[in-house]
Structure formats: C-alpha cells, structure tokens
Amino acid sequence: MAVIKLIVIKLIVIKLIYTLWISRCIATARERIPGSIDNDVTGVSECSQQRGNLKDNGYSR
C-alpha cells in the first residue's frame, strides 16, 4: 500500500511540474507574438508601437 501512495505522490509532482512548464511556455510565446491578447487589451499593437517609435526618433520613409 505504501508503494502505491509513493507512486501517486510522484505522479502528482510530475503533473505539477509539467503544468508549470507548459504555462511558462505559453507566457513566453505571448510575449513574443505581435498582436497577442496582451497587446489587444491595450488597444495598441506591437507593430504600431514600433512605427511610432521610429517616427519619434526622426526616421521617415
């Protein structure tokens, strides 16, 4: 019976670590994707922010 409890505890720990790893991967992906959900909330996309920065720095086409 103790062996089964130990196996169950190990599986729970593995699942927790896997869940944390996946959520970190998702968070990293959201940071790298222009126009992701986080950018949509502010109403300003990353591309338009970059265009605005170029204009502010005196760059024009």
Answer yes or no: is 21 within a domain.
Answer: yes
Split into its structural domains, the chain has a count of 1
pLDDT at 34: 73
Answer yes or no: is 9 within a domain.
Answer: yes
What residue numbers bound the domain in which 51 lies?
Answer: 2-56
Q: How many Å apart are CA 28 and CA 5, to the nearest integer? A: 35
What average pLDDT does range 51-58 have in this prediction?
A: 55
pLDDT tens-digit readout, 11-25: 999 999 999 999 999
Answer yes or no: is 37 within a domain.
Answer: yes
Q: How many Å apart are CA 45 and CA 47, to the nearest integer? A: 5
pLDDT at 13: 97
